[in-house]
Amino acid sequence: MKKVITYGTFDLLHQGHINLLRRAKELGDWLIVGVTTDNFDLERGKLNTCDNVMDRIEAVRATGLADQIIIEEYRGQKIDDIHKYGVDIFAIGSDWEGYFDYLKEFCQVVYLPRTQGISSTMLREEQAKLRIGIIGTGGIARRFVPESACVNSVAITGAYNPDKAECEAFCSEFGIPLCAASAEELYGSCNAVYVASPHYTHYDYVKSALGAGKHVLCETPLVLEKDQAVELFALAREKGLVLMMAHKTAYCPAFGHLVTLLQSGAIGEIVDIKAATTTITDLGSEKMDSARSGGSMNENACFPLLPIFHLLGTDCRDTFFIARMKGGVDIYTKVIMMFDSASASFEVGLGAKTEGSMVVSGTKGYAYVPAPWWKTDYFELRYEDQNQNKKYFYPFAGEGLRYEIKEFASAAVAQGYFYSKLPEKEIIAMAGIQQAFNAGQNLRILK
Ligand code: CTP
C-alpha cells in the first residue's frame, strides 16, 4: 500500500484545500493529513487562524478525502511521522516548492499545483475587519502600529492626539490615513479604539469611545479608581462592546501556559507569590509627574498584580504599602498582600531597580520565571527532587503586543461568548489596589 502524507492549517477550508487533498490522494492508496495545532501555529507566528484545531480537523474529515488525520504539534515532526507511519510520498502545494527538499532523504517529495485565486488569508481578509483608531501617539502607540500589522484582520484607520503636530508626524511616519482633529472625527473612521494616552485621560476617552459604539482596547492601567472601572465595564456590557486592557503579559503564550499549569496543581497548593517590575525612568518624564497620575504604583502595579489575582483570586484580605517618594511620586514601592491561605508581595519602581523575576511557591515545588518575567518566554518548575525539574520555552514574538491585539480582534468579531484571559473582575481589583495606595491606606512612607 502506497502511503501519502500532507500537512496544512486548513483554516476556513476552501476549494484550494479540497483540490490539494484530492491530488495528494490520487498519488497513492492511503492519505494521511496532518493538521497543525493552534499552539504550533502561534509558535510559527501564524496569529490569525480563525477556526480552532477541532473545527479544522472536522472540516478536513468532512471532505471524505483523508484516510487518517493526525495533528502536527512541533517543528521536525514531519520526519518522525514519515518513519512512524511508513510514508512513501510527502505531498504539499507548490507555494512550498523546494522548501521540503530535505525530506527527500526519507521519502519521495511531490509539490502539487496550487489552486489560483483562493487562500485562507484572502477569506480572512474578506471577513469582518477590525478598523482601529488610536488615541495617543507616544512610545507604546509607536510599538503598537507595527505589531498590529502581524494580525491579519486588523487595520489602523487613524490617530488622534490633541497635539496636532505630533499626531501629523506619527501618521506620516506610519502611513496612517487619518490624522483626526478630534476624538469624534477619529470615531467616524473606525469600529474600535486603542487608548494609549496618559493614564489620567483613560477614563474620559474610554467612556466617550464606548459611548460612540466602539470596542476599546486600553493601555494599563485602565483607570486608577475601582468605581470608574466598574462603570466602564457596565457601559461596555450595556452597549454589547468589548472593553479590554492592553496587558501584554496576560496574552503571551508562556504566561498563559504557566497559569494553567499552576492552576492544575503542578506545584501543589500555592502559598506565596513574589514578583517585581522595575523600569528606571527619567525623573523629568511624564511617568514621574504627580499631576499626571505618575509614579511606580500607577505605572507598573498592573504587572505583578496580574499573576497574583490570576492565581490567588481577587479576595485580598489586607494590603500594606511601603514607598520611597521623590517629587510627589513613589519611585519605589513594596507591597505585601494577604489572602486567606496565601501571601503575595511585589515591588514596583521607576526610580530604582531590582531583580525582575517571579517566584510562585507551592506545597510541592515552585515556579521560577526569570527577569523580565512580564515578557515571559521561559520558566522552570523546580522541586525538592531536582530530577523532577522541568524547563518550558515559548515564543515571544516582536514586542509581544500582537498577542493582545489578536485577542482583541477575536473578541470584537466574536459577537457573543468570548473567554477573556484577563477578566473584568481582576482589572477592577487592580484599580482597587492602586486607589488604596493613592488614598494612603496602610501606606508607610520612607524618609
Ligand atoms: N493550497 C492549495 N491551493 C490554495 C491554498 C492552499 O493547494 N489555493 C494548499 C497549500 O499549498 C497546502 C495546503 O493547501 O499544501 C494547506 O495550506 P494552508 O496553508 O492551510 O492554506 P492557505 O490557504 O495557503 O493558508 P494561508 O493563506 O493562511 O497561508
Q: Is 121 in the pocket of ligand 1 (CB under 6 A)?
A: yes
Superfamily of structural domain 3-122? HUPs (3.40.50.620)
**Closest residue CA from atom 17 of ligand 1:** 8
pLDDT digits (tens, 9 = 90+) for 72-86: 999 999 999 999 999
User: Cα separations (Å) of 113 from 87, 91, 445?
Assistant: 21, 10, 71
Tell me, what's the pLDDT at 112? 97
Ligand 1 atom closest to residue 95's alpha carbon, by position in its atom list: 11
Q: Is 20 in the pocket of ligand 1 (CB under 6 A)?
A: yes
Tell me, what's the pLDDT at 210? 98
Ligand 1 atom closest to residue 36's alpha carbon, by position in its atom list: 20
Report the amino acid identity of residue 325.
Answer: M
pLDDT-above-90 percentage for the chain: 85
pLDDT digits (tens, 9 = 90+) for 88-115: 999 999 999 999 999 999 999 999 999 9
Q: Is 226 in the pocket of ligand 1 (CB under 6 A)?
A: no
pLDDT-above-70 percentage for the chain: 99
Mean pLDDT, the chain, as a whole number? 94
Residue 218 has pLDDT above 70, yes or no: yes
Tell me, what's the pLDDT at 128? 58
Query: Cell 491561605 sits at which residue?
Result: 341
Residue 49 has pLDDT above 90, yes or no: no
How many CB atoms neighbour CB 68 within 10 A? 12
C-alpha cell recorded at residue 44: 510559527
C-alpha cell recorded at residue 237: 456590557
Contact between 408 and 192 under an 8 Å Cβ cutoff? The reply is yes
pLDDT digits (tens, 9 = 90+) for 122-162: 887 777 578 999 999 999 999 999 999 888 778 999 999 99
Three-state secondary-structure class, residue 373:
helix
Domain positions in the chain are 3-122, 128-246, 250-446
Tell me, what's the pLDDT at 136? 97
CATH topology of domain 250-446: Dihydrodipicolinate Reductase; domain 2 (3.30.360)
> Ligand 1: distance of its center to the CA of 119 in Å?
6
Residue 418 has pLDDT above 80, yes or no: no
pLDDT band at 416 (very low <50, low <70, confident <90, very high): low
Tell me, what's the pLDDT at 284? 87
Tell me, what's the pLDDT at 46? 73
- Mean pLDDT across 325-339: 96
Q: Do domains 128-246 and 250-446 have the same CATH topology?
A: no
- Mean pLDDT across 46-52: 80
Residue 205 has pLDDT above 80, yes or no: yes
pLDDT band at 38 (very low <50, low <70, confident <90, very high): confident
Ligand 1 atom closest to residue 121's alpha carbon, by position in its atom list: 27
pLDDT digits (tens, 9 = 90+) for 230-241: 999 999 999 999
Tell me, what's the pLDDT at 203? 98
- CA within 13 Å, CB half, 240: 5
Burial 372-391 (b: 16+ CB within 10 A, else e): bbbbbbebebbbeeeeeeee
- Mean pLDDT across 250-265: 94
Q: What is the CATH number of domain 128-246?
A: 3.40.50.720
Residue 350 has pLDDT above 90, yes or no: yes
Tell me, what's the pLDDT at 40? 87
Residue 417 has pLDDT above 70, yes or no: no
